[in-house]
Amino acid sequence: MDDLSKSMIPDTLTIRQALASINDTAKGIALIVDDQQRLIGTITDGDLRRAILAGSQVEEPVSVVLAAKPVERRQPISGNPEMSDMELIALMDHHGLRHIPVLRQDGQVERLVIRNEVVSHCPAAVDAVVLADPIACLPNAADEFRNTIGSLQESGFAEIYVLASEKSTSLRQTVEGCEAVDWVLIGQEISIREQLMGLGSHDATWLVVDRALTMSLNLQALIHFHHDHNAAVTMGVRRYDLKVPYGVIKTEGSSIQSLHEKPAYQFVVNEGLYLLNSALVHQLDQACETMPALVNQLISRGDVVATFPIIEYWLDLPRVEATGALQAQLGSKKWAA
């Protein structure tokens, strides 16, 4: 199967399957086609994640996402075979696109043009910053830490800063000889703002992995999502469903006002992953003890903070007091997105 065929999927595929297909092709887009290979629509990684955040289930077909698009966006922008690459680039620039399908007269896809594959493009450098102390609390910390660093390297991060106190020194030997890793020793009482400022860069983009372990995540999709939304900070999140196994009663005094039997609630929760520009950290005028506190300061300033829904395996590392429950999760290697 050629690269173009891999990018073409039917609208009966589930959201989960479509995301997996987009990850496999590394194009950032899927072309929705009928049984004659004629283009019906396009779906990007960001489209699917926004749909999940809006309430779509990952087992729903992508046709649901297509139908939910604004009317003006349902008909995909396309080029024709007579157009040159530069004409296609101009068309993409006009509509703010990174990809454009080229269609024959019968509506079949002839090729998919990716802007960055045609035009020399050097994106801003993105450095990874891993907070090591929480990982050091795990019994299999060395393996999980090695997996985290390996995942970041495979995703193209040339510079990986590891912020660690003395209690994490046991992890250092797992990355000995890795030129991409810069081990930064910190004091245990230093705030996260001071830790990040200590890295010294005023013109870099950081991916901060805070109390989390990466197992499988399309980091390039996160970076594109961040830029597409013009965000100061993009936070990795997931949807958390809470099902109450009892009837929930609303009262006023001694009187029952309503009874809701076994209700289910949905929340969006922080997964401990942040993409932000280093200059923002230097602009803050207060010491922020944690990443959530830092983000709250940016929100209070009016900066745009975007949410990137994560459905891949992403294990949120709780505080040290909950490590016992975490060990069971690590043992099973199962996590519901």
Which pLDDT score, from 0 to 100, does residue 215 have? 54
Which pLDDT score, from 0 to 100, does residue 119 have? 65
pLDDT tens, position by position, 247-285: 999 999 889 999 999 999 988 889 888 999 888 887 886
Mean pLDDT confidence for 123-130:
76
Give CATH 3.90.550.10 domain extents, the chain: 126-332
Res 316 pLDDT > 50: no
Which pLDDT score, from 0 to 100, does residue 312 have? 65
pLDDT tens, position by position, 174-216: 887 777 788 888 887 788 888 888 887 667 788 999 865 655 5
Mean pLDDT confidence for 117-129:
67
Strand pairing category for 8-9 and 29-33:
parallel
Which pLDDT score, from 0 to 100, does residue 39 have? 92
**What is the C-alpha to C-alpha distance for residues 26 and 47, in angstroms, rounded to an integer?**
15
Range in 112-116, 126-130, 226-230, 240-244 with the lowest mean pLDDT: 112-116
Q: Could you tell me the two tokens for 15? A: 């959201």
- 59 within 8 A of 25, measured Cβ to Cβ: no
Q: Could you tell me the two tokens for 285? A: 């005028």
**What is the C-alpha to C-alpha distance for residues 275 and 229, in angstroms, rounded to an integer?**
12
Which pLDDT score, from 0 to 100, does residue 302 have? 92
**What is the C-alpha to C-alpha distance for residues 154 and 160, in angstroms, rounded to an integer?**
12
CATH 2.60.40.1220 holds for 126-332: no
Give CATH 3.10.580.10 domain extents, the chain: 3-118
Looking at per-residue confidence, does 294 or 329 come out higher?
294
Which pLDDT score, from 0 to 100, does residue 25 have? 86
CA dihedral 313, 319, 324, 328 (to 10 degrees): 0
Closest CA to 222 of 201, 207, 210: 207
pTM for the predicted model, two decimal places: 0.71
Which pLDDT score, from 0 to 100, does residue 120 have? 52
pLDDT tens, position by position, 213-244: 655 567 777 888 888 888 999 999 888 889 99
CATH number listed for the domain at residues 3-118 = 3.10.580.10
Mean pLDDT confidence for 4-14:
90
How much helix, strand and coil, in percent to the nearest 5, is found in the chain?
35, 30, 35
Res 337 pLDDT > 50: no
Res 315 pLDDT > 80: no
pLDDT tens, position by position, 148-161: 888 787 777 768 89
Mean pLDDT confidence for 62-72:
87
Mean pLDDT confidence for 289-312:
88
% of the chain at pLDDT higher than 90: 21
**What is the C-alpha to C-alpha distance for residues 148 and 330, in angstroms, rounded to an integer?**
14
Where residue 311 falls among pLDDT bands split at 50, 70, 90? Answer: confident
Cβ-based neighbour number of residue 172 at 10 Å: 15
- HSE, CB side, 13 Å, CA atoms: give it for residue 135: 29
